[in-house]
Structure 1
Amino acid sequence: MSARNRKLVGTIVLVIFLGAYAWVAVEVGAGRISHAPHWAQFAYFLMAGLLWVIPAGVLIRWMQRPD
C-alpha cells in the first residue's frame, strides 16, 4: 500500500475511532460514573482522556511508515 493510501485509510479509521471512543466515554461517564465518588470520577475522566492516545499513536506511526 502506498503512503498516500495509508494516510487516507488511516485518517478515515482515526476519525471513526475517535468518534466512537468519545461516544462510549461520554455514555459511561454520564451513566455509571456520575454516581461514583469524586475521586473515582476524576480517575475515570483522566484515564478516558488519555487512553485514546495509544491506539491513535500506533495508527499514526503506521500511516507515517515509509514505502
Structure 2
Amino acid sequence: MPVRLKKLIGTFLLVVLIAVYALLATIIAVAHLGQSSVWVQLAYFFFTGFLWILPAMYLLWWMVQPPKTR
C-alpha cells in the first residue's frame, strides 16, 4: 500500500479513535464517578488522558512504515 494512502487512512482512523475514545471515557466518568472524590476523578482523567496514546502510537507507526517490496 502506498505511504500516502496509508497516511490518509491513518488520519481518518486517528480522528475516529480520538472522538470515540473521548466519548466513551466521558460516558464512563459521568456514569460512575459522579459521587467520587476529587482525587479519584483526577486519577481517572489523568489515566484515561494518557491511555489513548498507546493505540495512536501504533497507528502512527503503521502510517510511516515504507511499503513492503515484493
| TM-score, with structure 1 as normaliser | 0.91
One-letter code of the match for 2:19? G
Gaps of 5+ in 1: none
Q: Unaligned 5+ residue runs, structure 2?
A: none
Paired position in structure 1 for 2:6: 6
Alignment of 1:1-67 (within 5 A): 1-67=1-67
**Runs of 4+ in structure 1 displaced over 6 angstroms?**
none
Larger radius of gyration: 2
- Displacement, 1:40? 1.4
What amino acid maps onto 2:11 in structure 1? T
Q: How many residues are aligned here?
A: 67
Q: Quote the RMSD (CA, aligned, Å).
A: 1.0
Could you tell me the percent identity over the aligned residues? 37
Deviation at 1:16, TM superposition (A): 0.8
Q: Distance in 2 between matches of 1:63 and 1:38?
A: 38
TM-score by length of 2: 0.87
